Structure 1
Amino acid sequence: MRSVACFVICLIAGGAATARAETLMGAMSRAYNANPQLNASRAELRAIDEKVPQALAGMRPRVSGDGYLGVQRNRLITQQHDIYPNDPTQSDFSKSIQNGKSVPRAATLAFEQPIFDGFKTQNQTLAAESGVFAGRERLRLTEQRILFDAVTAYMDVLRDTAALKLQESNVAVLKEQLRQTRERYEYGQITPTDVSQAEARLAGGKSMASAARAALDASIGVYRKIVGVEPKTLSPGAPVDRLLPKSREEAERIAQTEHPFILAALHDADAADLDIKALEADFMPKFSIIGDIFTQTDLVGLGNRNVGAKILGHLNVPIYEGGLTSSRVRQAKETAGQRRLNADVARAEVLSLVRAYWGALQAAKTQIAAAQTQIAAAERALYGVREEAKAGQRTTLEILNAQQELLNARIGLVIAQRDRVVASYAVLSALGRLSSGWLGLTPLGYDPAIHFDQVKGLWGDPMTPDGR
């Protein structure tokens, strides 16, 4: 069992990787490039990018055209009563009927160019840009969570694989122990109680091995969901201490300035302040140039035509709108206050995360050292109990208990080594630095600024930059 234990411990802690084995960085790269949830968040940010050209459209010209074409029939009936002036008793009646058919048609080309809108478009554009920046930080949050989930899933598969091998090895040891116990019973050295104890412990070992296999299957399922492929042969995982600061105080300082949760909240607060200014523009006058060119044929009667053009200055001065704008401004001010408080909440939450994860990392380091010491002591104890049992000084139950203590110590080391790696990535996530760039996963990571620059200045074209 000692050789199996050494193998599974190396599986978690480090060692020579099997040829063509999956690495932790490779698993994170797969998740970064193919995870559907992360790709959905990227699509969501691209949709947010479109709010900027939508806001810019407020000061751009608007042109529209109208046209009419149809058939018109006219029936004109005229009746005339003529009275002779020399003889009023005599008169003539006449009636005429005229039928006509025309094709009335008209066309109008109208345009409007805003000149001044109280700086509404300017503030809406700035607010939209702040929303884009906040969206980028939220995308970073999603990226961090997916990468951390990939690390956790990877290390869980390694942990559960090692635990299963330890449990299976334990079952093999218990079978051998039961065989030896039965032989001693046949020679009259022990009682039936010892045999029953060995049988009970073997049954318990098989149950634990079955539970370990179920746990491994569950971990493999999570790995498949996050990374996108089945785990084949996984190389040992290693902590990311090289990217971590030397002290908790430095970690807290970095997190307060770089964590995307805080930065997103700050951008949200900026957008809320700009929303107030955009709403206040509704109190101000607005001026635009409007005009149209038109042609009308056979609209009034057959054979007539009207062609013309006009250009006008349009001034709109709001006087009273029932209190609607005032209410919206007050509402926006309360929202802005909420967003600023949300930024304070984000700072407190990030600080709490840094301290919790930093403590977990230090605890994992201590647990590894303690587990290694516990294993060495348990191995010596098991050897001593077995030797003393040969002399009749120890019982079968004491041997079984010593074996169980050694198994628990080895599983504890496997868990501590898994927690050591995961905790280091958790600290990096709390800093806001668990990203493709910091880890060097791919030479060309996803750059959200590319799509933003592609659509920001577009005046038309419904096609997306990728051709859809």
Structure 2
Amino acid sequence: MVGRAGSVGHVGRRVLRSGIGVAAAICLGFAAVPAQAEALPEALAKAYQSNPQLNAERARQRATDENVPQALAGYRPQIVASLSAGLQSVRDLLPNNTIQTANLKPWTIGITVTQTLFNGFKTANSVRVAEFQVRAGREALRNVGQGVLLDAVTAYTNVLANQSLVEAQRTNVTFLRETLGIVQKRLNAGDVTPTDTAQAEARLNRGLADLNSAEVNFAISQATYAQVIGNPPSRLSPAEPVDRYLPRSRDEATGLAFKSHPAVLAAGFDVDVATTSINVAESSLLPTITLQGNASRSRDSDPTLGTFATDQASVIGQMTAPIYDGGTAASQTRQAKEISAQSRLVLDQVRNQARTAATGAWVAHEGAKIAVSASESEVRAAGVALQGVQKEATGGQRTTIDVLNSQQELTSAKARLIGAQRDRVIASYTLLSAIGKLDVKTLGLNTPDYLPEVHYHQVRDAWHGLRTPSGQ
């Protein structure tokens, strides 16, 4: 029995040294920092620049900007040119019963300029609606940016965590293989029973299955990383929480989320859009005043006419007032009022959701701190326990299964620590997102911040042109 315990103890000392070494590396941040490793801020900058979802949202916002010049067009004159020309065959019967025929080529050219002077304030309110839509879209874009950065943090930390899990499982499999080899030799020597061999073999197969699962998860996390960041992961450096940017209390977190989260601000602007749309609908019930100028020239070669050319010019003022349109404008006004009421209820809902999300993020962040501390203590205790089991096995007080179980507990403790450290980083960024501060400026990323107002000012007062500011 002493010889058996001594053999197991030799293996136990080897795995203890490797297990404690891996645990120490995990506690320092998943793994050692390799040369020229890609840090989390660099990955976030790449995602901010090239993520398809975020770029698509930016394109949507640029399209929303065009609502403003379209609304402003109501202040500007409308100019229409016209040209008509053709062939005309004429057959005239004269009083003396003679017939006169002619082939004519009449043509007319003209230009009409129409300027709206008053349309029930529809243009002014339409411009306000368009500007509120732009501001709501900017907040929606900022919210999508937060989501993309949080996805990038999650993808980055998942790669680190799964890579560490693979290394921990490989260490475990190495130990189990060595243990099985020693037990089989001792079985041949008659020192142990087949039960010991079966236990070691079962534990090895379990370790191989765990290693396979860890490798699968690692491959999936690498693919997700490439999707979110834009390139496959190479060597990644440890990720750190962003506690320095976080609020100091739960009340401060919920207050910031309630007031400044982009989803809340976007919903507030949606209320402004809906409220102003009521005025747009009511404008259809008011009179419209327009001024129209027209100039034309026509030519006609009909010999029976007294004139062969006509030049005309006119300036006409017109006022139209709706009397009854079948109830369309009234229905549209009532509809706009209901939509306004709905948008206010949605704003209340979004505020409550933001407050709840901030509370949840705060609690999860505090819990993640405790989980990391507890997992670190568990790894240290599991290492000490493995060392104690190994010593007791040397004295014949422990069996092979005791050492195997102690090793399994250490491996499980390391896996929980890896997960806790990953959750700790993600929780800090989640809380930063919940208060609406997960952006390039707050994080100080080395990338230009996308400023949607630049495109807005480029197109707002554009009177003509088909090309976008980007040249397309």
Greater shift in the superposed pair: 290-299 or 196-205: 290-299
Encode CA deviations 1:323-364: one digit per residue, 9 max, x unaligned.
110000000000000001111001110111111111111111
Question: CA separation in 2, counterparts of 1:187 and 1:394?
Answer: 20
**Alignment pair present for 1:59 and 2:75:** yes
Greater shift in the superposed pair: 188-197 or 327-336: 188-197
Q: How does 1:113-132 map to 2 (within 5 A)?
A: 113-132=115-134
- The structure 2 residue matched to 1:3, chosen from 6, 21, 45, is 21
Match of 2:412 in 1: 408
Q: How does 1:73-112 map to 2 (within 5 A)?
A: 73-78=89-94, 80=96, 95-112=97-114
Q: Is the 8 A contact 1:108 1:295 kept in 2?
A: yes
Match of 2:299 in 1: 297
**Alignment pair present for 1:391 and 2:395:** yes
SS of equivalent to 2:98: strand
Question: CA separation in 2, counterparts of 1:150 and 1:202?
Answer: 35
In the TM superposition, residue 188 of structure 1 has moved relative to its aligned partner by 3.4
Encode CA deviations 1:161-207: one digit per residue, 9 max, x unaligned.
00000000000011111122233334433211011100110011011
SS of equivalent to 2:42: helix
For 1:194, give the aligned amino acid. D
SS of equivalent to 1:114: strand
Quickly say closer, same or farther: Cα 1:210–1:291, change in 2 above 3 A.
same
**Alignment pair present for 1:169 and 2:171:** yes
Q: Is the 8 A contact 1:9 1:162 kept in 2?
A: no
Quickly say closer, same or farther: Cα 1:350–1:279, change in 2 above 3 A.
same
Greater shift in the superposed pair: 162-171 or 111-120: 111-120
Match of 1:341 in 2: 345
Question: CA separation in 2, counterparts of 1:183 and 1:361?
Answer: 50
Identity percentage over the alignment? 41
**Alignment pair present for 1:46 and 2:62:** yes
Quickly say closer, same or farther: Cα 1:443–1:162, change in 2 above 3 A.
closer
State the aligned residue count: 452
Match of 2:288 in 1: 286
**Alignment pair present for 1:192 and 2:208:** no
Question: CA separation in 1, counterparts of 2:206 and 2:313?
Answer: 95
For 1:267, give the aligned amino acid. F
Q: Is the 8 A contact 2:102 2:302 kept in 1?
A: no
Q: How does 1:131-150 map to 2 (within 5 A)?
A: 131-150=133-152
In the TM superposition, residue 373 of structure 1 has moved relative to its aligned partner by 1.2
Q: Structure 1, unaligned stretches of length 5 or more?
A: 81-94
For 2:215, give the aligned amino acid. R
For 2:322, give the aligned amino acid. P
Taking CA–CA contacts closer than 8 Å with sequence separation of 6 or more, which of the two structures ends up with the larger relative contact order?
2
Question: CA separation in 1, counterparts of 2:66 and 2:187?
Answer: 82
- The structure 1 residue matched to 2:379, chosen from 371, 375, 382, is 375
Q: Pairwise CA RMSD of aligned residues?
A: 1.4
**Alignment pair present for 1:69 and 2:85:** yes
- The structure 2 residue matched to 1:449, chosen from 447, 453, 459, is 453
For 2:115, give the aligned amino acid. Q
Q: Is the 8 A contact 1:237 1:421 kept in 2?
A: yes
Question: CA separation in 2, counterparts of 1:150 and 1:110?
Answer: 57
Encode CA deviations 1:387-412: one digit per residue, 9 max, x unaligned.
21222211211111111001111111
In the TM superposition, residue 117 of structure 1 has moved relative to its aligned partner by 1.0
Greater shift in the superposed pair: 23-32 or 97-106: 97-106
For 1:38, give the aligned amino acid. L
Question: CA separation in 2, counterparts of 1:388 and 1:184?
Answer: 19
Q: Is the 8 A contact 2:118 2:289 kept in 1?
A: yes
Match of 2:232 in 1: 230
Q: Is the 8 A contact 2:133 2:273 kept in 1?
A: yes
For 1:206, give the aligned amino acid. L
Question: CA separation in 2, counterparts of 1:436 and 1:48?
Answer: 23
**Alignment pair present for 1:18 and 2:20:** no
Q: Structure 2, unaligned stretches of length 5 or more?
A: 1-17
SS of equivalent to 1:318: coil
Match of 1:209 in 2: 211
Q: Is the 8 A contact 2:153 2:426 kept in 1?
A: yes
Question: CA separation in 1, counterparts of 2:70 and 2:374?
Answer: 61
In the TM superposition, residue 386 of structure 1 has moved relative to its aligned partner by 1.6
- The structure 1 residue matched to 2:52, chosen from 3, 26, 36, is 36
For 1:368, give the aligned amino acid. V
**TM-score (ref. length: structure 1):** 0.94
In the TM superposition, residue 11 of structure 1 has moved relative to its aligned partner by 4.4
For 2:24, give the aligned amino acid. C
For 1:46, give the aligned amino acid. R
Match of 1:90 in 2: none
Match of 2:4 in 1: none
In the TM superposition, residue 299 of structure 1 has moved relative to its aligned partner by 7.0
Match of 1:92 in 2: none
Encode CA deviations 1:277-333: one digit per residue, 9 max, x unaligned.
111111111111012011111076566111111111110111111111000000000
For 2:229, give the aligned amino acid. V
SS of equivalent to 1:110: strand
- The structure 2 residue matched to 1:350, chosen from 351, 354, 362, is 354
In the TM superposition, residue 242 of structure 1 has moved relative to its aligned partner by 0.8
In the TM superposition, residue 74 of structure 1 has moved relative to its aligned partner by 2.0
Quickly say closer, same or farther: Cα 1:389–1:147, change in 2 above 3 A.
same
SS of equivalent to 1:269: helix
SS of equivalent to 1:246: coil
Question: CA separation in 2, counterparts of 1:300 and 1:139?
Answer: 65
In the TM superposition, residue 6 of structure 1 has moved relative to its aligned partner by 2.9
In the TM superposition, residue 221 of structure 1 has moved relative to its aligned partner by 0.6
In the TM superposition, residue 8 of structure 1 has moved relative to its aligned partner by 4.2
Match of 2:439 in 1: 435
For 1:138, give the aligned amino acid. A
For 1:230, give the aligned amino acid. P
SS of equivalent to 1:67: strand
SS of equivalent to 2:28: helix
Question: CA separation in 2, counterparts of 1:18 and 1:395?
Answer: 40
- The structure 2 residue matched to 1:219, chosen from 218, 221, 229, is 221
In the TM superposition, residue 18 of structure 1 has moved relative to its aligned partner by 1.8
Question: CA separation in 2, counterparts of 1:100 and 1:196?
Answer: 114
Question: CA separation in 2, counterparts of 1:9 and 1:182?
Answer: 36
